[in-house]
Structure 1
Amino acid sequence: MPHVAVINYGPKSDYAAILAELTGTLHVYSHNELKNTEGFARYEFVKDCEFVPYAELMIRGSARDQPFTHLITDNEYDLERVARIREDLGIPGQSLASAVSFRDKAVMKEVAGRTVATARFARLTTIVDLTDFIAQTGYPVVVKPVKQGGSRDISVLRDEEELIEFSRRHWREDLMAEEFIEGPMYHVDAVLAPGYRFVASSRYLRSCLGVFSGQNNGSVQLHPEDKFAARLEEFFDRVLEAFDVPEVSAYHLEVFHTPDDRLVLCEIASRVGGDRIPALTRATYGVDLHASWLRQSCALPVDQPPAGPPALVHGSVSILPQGRPVKAPGRPPFEWVHHYEVNEQLAPGAVTQNSTSHLCFVIVSGADAAEVEQRLLETEAWLMANLEEVPGA
Structure 2
Amino acid sequence: MTALVLHRFPLGPFPYDRWLAELDGGVVLIAARDRIEGAREQVPPGDGGYRRLVVLDDFEDEELLDRTALELAEEYRVTHVVAPHEADLMRAARLREKLGLPGQLPDEVLPFRDKALMKRRLEAAGIEVAPHTLPPTADDARDFADEHGLPLVFKARDGFGSIGLRIVRTPGELEEYLAGAYAPGAAPREDLLAEAYVPGRMCHVDGVVVGGRTVMAWPSQYQYELSSFQADPGARVDLTLEPSDPLTPRLLELADSALAALGGPADHAFHAEVFHTPDDRLVVCEVASRPGGARIREVLDAVFEVHPMELEKTSPDGTAAKTS
**TM-score strictly above 0.5:** yes
User: Any idea what the Cα deviations from partners look like across 1:168-200, whole Å, max 9, x if unmatched?
Assistant: 435495311000011111100011102760011
Give the partner amino acid of 1:70: H
Structure 2: how far apart are the matches of 1:63 and 1:218?
Answer: 39
Which residue number corresponds to residue 200 of structure 1? 218
Structure 2: how far apart are the matches of 1:83 and 1:72?
Answer: 10
Which residue number corresponds to residue 91 of structure 2? 81
Whether 1:3 and 2:21 are equivalent positions in the alignment is no
5 Å-filtered alignment, 1:31-42, equals: 31-32=32-33, 33=36, 35=44, 37-42=47-52
Structure 1: how far apart are the matches of 2:124 and 2:181?
Answer: 34
User: Any idea what the Cα deviations from partners look like across 1:270-318, whole Å, max 9, x if unmatched?
Assistant: 011111212222222222122222345996479xxxxxxxxxxxxxxxx
> CA, structure 1 residues 235+196, in 2 after alignment: closer, same or farther (shift >3 Å)?
closer
Which residue number corresponds to residue 147 of structure 2? 136
The structure that has the greater radius of gyration is 1
Contact 1:201 1:224 in 2 (8 A): no
Which residue number corresponds to residue 15 of structure 2? 14
Whether 1:91 and 2:101 are equivalent positions in the alignment is yes
Structure 2: how far apart are the matches of 1:256 and 1:58?
Answer: 40
Give the partner amino acid of 1:281: L
Give the partner amino acid of 1:58: T
Unaligned stretches of 5+ residues in structure 1: 303-393
User: Any idea what the Cα deviations from partners look like across 1:220-277, whole Å, max 9, x if unmatched?
Assistant: 0002343320110011111112112111101100111122221111011001111121
> CA, structure 1 residues 258+80, in 2 after alignment: closer, same or farther (shift >3 Å)?
same
Contact 2:20 2:26 in 1 (8 A): no
> CA, structure 1 residues 274+64, in 2 after alignment: closer, same or farther (shift >3 Å)?
closer
Whether 1:162 and 2:173 are equivalent positions in the alignment is yes
Aligned-residue offset at 1:129: 2.1
Which residue number corresponds to residue 183 of structure 1? 200
User: Any idea what the Cα deviations from partners look like across 1:201-235, whole Å, max 9, x if unmatched?
Assistant: 00111321256689864210002343320110011
Aligned residue pairs, count? 301
Structure 2: how far apart are the matches of 1:123 and 1:80?
Answer: 21
Q: 222, 243, 257: which is aligned to 1:224?
A: 243
Partner SS for 2:102: coil
Contact 2:153 2:194 in 1 (8 A): yes
Contact 1:3 1:70 in 2 (8 A): yes
Structure 1: how far apart are the matches of 2:274 and 2:181?
Answer: 30
User: Any idea what the Cα deviations from partners look like across 1:124-154, whole Å, max 9, x if unmatched?
Assistant: 3321221121122111110111222222211
Contact 1:181 1:256 in 2 (8 A): yes
Partner SS for 1:242: helix
Unaligned stretches of 5+ residues in structure 2: 37-42, 184-188
Whether 1:276 and 2:277 are equivalent positions in the alignment is no
Aligned-residue offset at 1:85: 1.2
Aligned-residue offset at 1:41: 2.7
Which residue number corresponds to residue 29 of structure 1? 30
> CA, structure 1 residues 243+117, in 2 after alignment: closer, same or farther (shift >3 Å)?
same
Contact 2:162 2:228 in 1 (8 A): no
> CA, structure 1 residues 41+223, in 2 after alignment: closer, same or farther (shift >3 Å)?
same
Structure 2: how far apart are the matches of 1:66 and 1:301?
Answer: 17
Contact 1:23 1:40 in 2 (8 A): no
Aligned-residue offset at 1:66: 5.7
TM-score, scaled relative to structure 1: 0.70
Structure 2: how far apart are the matches of 1:6 and 1:213?
Answer: 29
Contact 1:18 1:291 in 2 (8 A): yes
Contact 2:152 2:169 in 1 (8 A): yes
Partner SS for 2:257: helix
Contact 2:4 2:73 in 1 (8 A): no
Give the partner amino acid of 1:285: F
> CA, structure 1 residues 299+108, in 2 after alignment: closer, same or farther (shift >3 Å)?
farther
TM-score, scaled relative to structure 2: 0.84
Contact 1:14 1:35 in 2 (8 A): no
